[in-house]
Amino acid sequence: MADSYDIYTNDIEKMVTDEITDLIDAAFDDKKDALGGKYTQLRKELDDKHLSDDKHIEEEDALDVLYEKELSTLYSIIGTELHPEFTGTTEDELVEYLVAAKMKLYKDDYNEQMRLATQYIHKNLNLDNGDVVQIGGQQFRNENLRFWSSTRGLLYCDARSPYVTDYGTVPSDFKVGNGDGEFSPWHWKDVIDYYDGTIWLSDSFREEVYASLKCEEGSTKYKARLTIHGKTVQITSPVARPRHFMVDHYRGTLIEAFE
């Protein structure tokens, strides 16, 4: 059975905040080290002048003032390097500004939303192939429904099913069958709201279905009984070689096929 995970905007914002804070801290440490090296050299040059004690102290104090002044501008410099429109002076202002810019992009840009959601999954979740992800939590039906592929990342619902309703269709990447890595027909039954029941058979299982479908005398339907994932299921179809398959939500052993 698939697992379902909610990724809320607050989850993404916390991850973004942590990432930006680490980035700023690293940039600050680098610039502070460079600044410290600069003033260490200036103090060495001051020592080499062999000034009187009073004059030496005066110039050393002046260097300390300049150092503190430059140190106070580092977040402003880092900010304009990271985002030219930043006008603040403190770390808190810079973090707040960059997080807001990143989260606006997350909300407005689908590719950025997918990138950050994928990053969050890799950092915080242990998803299996075929698991369900709700980005933003469960909202209107399944408008924010995604599926996790261990090879392709987050996938949209499949829109090719002729019976798709409210985006509740499993992507065709996930094959139903008895082979390695293939799924039970009811793998997603209880984890997708308004699930339309569409499944995509693997090539080998589809051929097994085609070979087994028989139309009994006096009947208009083809039927087959097969075992999948240790469970005997009945498949009904109006044609001998159907293209689409759906699980019956109420009868847990029935798969209906369509032309």
Model confidence pLDDT, tens digit, residues 69-123: 999 999 999 999 999 999 999 999 999 999 999 999 999 998 999 999 999 999 9
pLDDT for res 164: 52
Instruction: Report the alpha-carbon distance of residue 97 to residue 79 in Å, rounded.
Output: 9
235 or 156, greater pLDDT: 235
Please tell me the total number of residues recorded for the chain in this structure: 259
Give the pLDDT confidence of 209-259 residue by residue, as tens digits.
999 999 988 888 999 999 999 999 999 999 999 999 999 877 778 899 988
pTM tops 0.95: no
Mean pLDDT estimate for the chain: 92
Answer positive or negative: Cα dihedral of 30, 34, 36, 37: positive
Judging by beta carbons within 10 Å of its beta carbon (0-12, 13-18, 19+), is residue 198 exposed, middle or buried? buried
pLDDT on residue 157 = 85
Q: What is the pLDDT of residue 162?
A: 54
- The token pair at 52 is 């009187």
Q: 11 or 194, which is more confident?
A: 11
**Domain residues of the chain, as ranges?**
4-124, 158-258
The pLDDT assigned to 139 comes to 66
pLDDT digits (tens, 9 = 90+) for 159-181: 665 555 556 789 999 999 999 99
Transcribe 17-64 into DSSP letters. Answer: HHHHHHHHHHHHHHHHHHHHHHHHHHHHHHHHT---HHHHHHHHHHHH
Q: What is the pLDDT of residue 158?
A: 78
